[in-house]
Amino acid sequence: MTAASSYISNYQNGYTNDITDSASITILTKVSNASAYSACTTPAFATDSWIPSDAQNPFYISCLISNGANATSANCSGANFAAATGGCKGCMDTISILNTATYTTKASVLTALGNRYTAAGCSTFNSELSNVWGNYYLLKSNAYAPVATRTTTATNSINSFVSNITGTLNTTFGNAVTTLNNAAQSVADGKYGLVAGLNCRLIG
C-alpha cells in the first residue's frame, strides 16, 4: 500500500503525467514558454518557465530557462512571489507554488500573477495560466486528495494488522507453545511426570 500511496502522490504533485491528449499538452507547453507571450515586458517574466513540477519523472513539460534554478513554494512564499526575489524565479513548480492550500480560487491566482507580472501585455499570460490552474491543477488536486487520504487510511490499517500479526499474535502463539511444552513435560518427566506414575502402577 505504501507503493500505491506514492503512485497517487506522484500524479497529484505532477511528478507523473496524467494527461495524454495533444491539445492539453500544447497548452501546458505554451504557458511554460515566455517567448510565446512577447507582449509581456515585466523583466521577471523572461526568467520564468512555468512547468507542472520540478520533479517530473520523466519530464513531459520541460523547463525552458537554460540552467534555471528550481523554484517551489519554499522560495515563493509571501512577498517573494510578487517581487521575484528569494530564489523565486527560473523553473517554476506550478503545483508547489500555486498550491491549493494558499490559492483557493482562480481569481486569487489571477491576482497573484498580476502582482508579479505587472505590465499590461502580461494580462494574456496571467489569464491563461490562471485558467489552466482552475481547469487542471485545481481539479487534479480535488480529485486526488480524497483518494490519497483513503489510501493513507488503508495503509495505516494494513500496517496495524501486520503489526498485530507479527507482534501480538506471535506472542500469543509463543505463550501457547510454552504452555504446551510445560504440559508435555509434566506428562513425560521420567521421575515426576504422569508416565512415571503409570509405570509405578504397572510395575508395582
User: Burial level of 100, CB count in 10 A (0-12/13-18/19+)?
Assistant: middle
Domain membership flag for residue 32 = yes
Domain membership flag for residue 140 = yes
Domain membership flag for residue 96 = yes
Domain with 101, as residue range(s), is 2-148
On whether the CB atoms of residues 151 and 4 are closer than 8 A, the answer is: yes
Domain membership flag for residue 124 = yes
Question: Could you give the number of structural domains in the chain?
Answer: 1
Domain membership flag for residue 75 = yes
pLDDT band for position 175 (cuts 50, 70, 90): confident
How much is the mean pLDDT over the chain?
84
Domain membership flag for residue 202 = no
pLDDT at 101 exceeding the cut of 60: yes
Domain membership flag for residue 168 = no
On whether the CB atoms of residues 117 and 125 are closer than 8 A, the answer is: yes
pTM above 0.95, yes or no: no
Domain membership flag for residue 204 = no
The better pLDDT of the pair 165, 78 is held by 78
